[in-house]
Structure 1
Amino acid sequence: MFTDALRRDAARIGEHLEDVLKTNPDLPVIEGMRYAVAGGKRLRGFLVMEGARLHDVPEAQAIWPAAAIEAIHAYSLVHDDLPCMDDDDLRRGLPTVHRKWDDGTAVLVGDALQTLGFEMVLDPACHPMAEVRADLALSLGRASGRAGMVLGQALDIAAETADAPLTLEQITELQAGKTGALIVWSAEAGARLAQADLQPLTDYATALGLAFQIADDILDVEGDEATVGKAVGKDADRGKATFVSLLGLDGARRRAAELVEAACDALSPYGDRAQTLNDAAQFVISRDT
């Protein structure tokens, strides 16, 4: 069952991150790293683990990129919450890192989590072949950096001062980087470990990532702050174009459902073995956090 697998993988990833960080000295930056990676659904890490299971990759190897992507994702959230970016006070129902400590500590926590992610995919325990580890690191750099997540964030910042709201095509491009790139990498990681064909999981995750963002836009309109764990309604307050503002709530829901169907169709080469990933796609558009 998907929810059981998600919960199990989340706990295992959390244990692995704690094992890695417990060897570090007890400093605010390390405490902040632990704080930043605690909690959350760990959906990206789950995608790594499930993709690895599809390709019969041992969990002892898959746990390294699964923990790595959660570290990278946490770094992005810590920096995204800073006053110079989104200036958020809450994340996962708790004070953001810069509120609990200070801006400088938050910058260092994000920096350290980013480098930790690359450290983990390059650890020899991740895979015995150096070229496989290098492929994971190279693709992670592309997904998280100037051609992926950072590009999407830069486009998002630029949109706030643009003369006109973004079009649907522009928002789709923006979110393919900001949200989608790490989701795609997560789904592909198991196939990369197995040196297998990436395309089915790439197609699956491309659709999944966009559906995930549409669901986020819907939550920003309809969600409850206490349930979501962060401020809601901020996009409307800033006058930002979103999938909801362009498509309407009903149109956004329809588009998300179409994307989930496309994601599930992409998994057909795996047959029944991909049922958990099918369930994950349904979860993405039905979640309330």
Structure 2
Amino acid sequence: MSRLRDTMAERATAVEEELQRLLPVEDIPERRLWEAMSYSCLNGGKRLRPFLVTATADLFNVASSASLRVAAAVEMVHSYSLVHDDLPAMDDDDLRRGRPTCHKQFDEATAILAGDGLLTRAFEVLGDPGAHPDPAVRAELVVELAKAAGARGMVGGQMVDLLAERDEGFGRGMDVAAVTRMHQLKTGRLIMFSCCAGAILGKAAPQLRQALTKYAHDLGLAFQIVDDLLDVEGDQAELGKTVGKDAAAGKQTFVTLLGLDRARTHAEMLVEQAVAHLKPFDAEADLLRDVAHFVLARRA
């Protein structure tokens, strides 16, 4: 696991440098917007999604210059979603990764524009030849990320989450299957894109892409279950965000539906399934196996 921590730290630094290059803060009238975009992206975090892009790209010998560019685009989309999620109209959070949220550091209007800027910048980055010399590959990256982030993916999942919080009858009626679907959309689809992006860049065979898709499916659900566990058992200082919000909002989660022990057992089962899907890659996928165990053991 120490090898994983070292590699993740190295990749996080490389992604940070790529983000700094792609989000320059210049002396222009709209400088405040770029400052807010940069603030929201360059604020630490595990960089799990970018790491998954680079780790899967390595399986197919993709140039690091290309995989880091795609990884940065994914982090922009993820950061945009956090900026908007934290707004008073959504989750109304004051703390993100141990710092004031974007709308607290700047203001609500600037935060909305910063999220819009990060989302559109991500697609600009993917459409640039620097992501891949083959325009068909770039087009596929754009389409697949749009699906993962849009109304049939992350944004759709957020809508279901809002309904569950604001419509008491709807929320109470959510069972394990409904909560699973919500999180597959809200969290899982972007994780799935992150795992498949490396295969798209490497023009991988369909069966190998399918293996990574299955791995990502189980990894994403395990990640969310651990998130639910941390919302109950986690330390706010360690997490860098508010804890106990799901319970306060009366949301149905894997913990409320399954209980702590069953939820933890379910996450463990999903991680074992995720690892099993990597069999076609043999030892070359050991980092991805370690990531699955890291997701299960994480405390932040």
* Range into which the TM-score falls when normalised by the shorter chain: over 0.9
Equivalent-residue separation in structure 1 for 2:60 and 2:6 (angstroms): 20
2:176 corresponds to which of 168, 191, 211: 168
Q: Which amino acid aligns with 1:268?
A: K
Where do 1:209-220 residues align within 5 Å?
A: 209-220=220-231
Partner of 1:190: 198
2:50, 2:71 within 8 Å by CA — same for their partners in 1? yes
Which residue in 2 is equivalent to 1:111? Answer: 116
Aligned with residue 103 of structure 2, among 89, 98, 106: 98
Under a length normalisation based on structure 1, what TM-score does the superposition of the two structures give? Answer: 0.98
In the other structure, the counterpart of 2:281 is 270
- CA deviation digits over 1:5-60, x for unaligned, max 9? 11111100110010112264451111111111121110000000000001111101
CA distance in 2, matches of 1:192, 1:5: 22
User: 2-side partners of 1:234 and 1:65: how far apart?
Assistant: 32
3-state SS of the aligned residue for 1:285? helix
Question: Paired residue for 1:57?
Answer: 62
| Aligned equivalent of 1:234 | 245
- Correspondence for 1:146: 151
* One-letter amino acid matched to 1:7: A
Q: Tell me which residue corresponds to 2:297.
A: 286
2: distance between equivalents of 1:162 and 1:264? 38
Instruction: Using structure 2 for the length normalisation, give the TM-score.
Output: 0.95
Q: 1:77 aligns with which of 76, 79, 82?
A: 82
Higher alpha-carbon deviation: 29-38 or 42-51: 29-38
Q: Is the CA contact 2:25–2:35 (under 8 Å) kept in the aligned structure 1? A: no
The aligned counterpart of 1:22 is 24
Deviation at 1:285, TM superposition (A): 1.2
Partners of 1:162 and 1:56 lie apart in 2 by: 50
Aligned-pair identity (%): 49
Compute the RMSD of aligned alpha carbons. 0.9
Unaligned runs of 5+ in 1: none
1:44 pairs, out of 44, 49, 52, with 49
Change (3 A) 1:61 1:255: same
What is the CA distance between 1:162 and its match in structure 2? 3.8
Counterpart contact for 2:223–2:295, Cα < 8 Å: yes
CA distance in 1: counterparts of 2:298 and 2:125, whole angstroms: 29
8 A contact 1:75–1:111 mirrored in 2: yes
Alpha-carbon separation, structure 2, partners of 1:44 and 1:253:
22
**Structure 2 unaligned residues grouped into runs of 5+:** none
Following TM superposition, where does structure 1 have runs of at least 4 consecutive aligned residues deviating by more than 4 angstroms? 23-26
Give the superposition deviation at 1:208: 0.2
Amino acid at match of 2:295: V
Shift in Å, 1:194: 1.1
Aligned residues: 289
Q: CA deviation at 1:121?
A: 1.0
Match of 1:68 in 2: 73
Question: What residue identity is the alignment partner of 1:17?
Answer: L
Alignment partner, residue 35 of structure 2:
31
Q: 1:12 maps to which residue?
A: 14
C-alpha distance after superposition, 1:64-102 (max 9, x if no partner): 110000000000000000000000000000000001111
SS state of the match for residue 259, structure 2? Answer: helix
Q: Which moved more, 1:80-89 or 1:191-200?
A: 191-200
Equivalent position amino acid for 2:24 in 1: K
Work out the CA distance in 2 between the residues paired with 1:85 and 1:178.
14
Does the 8 Å CA contact 1:165/1:240 hold for their aligned counterparts? Answer: no
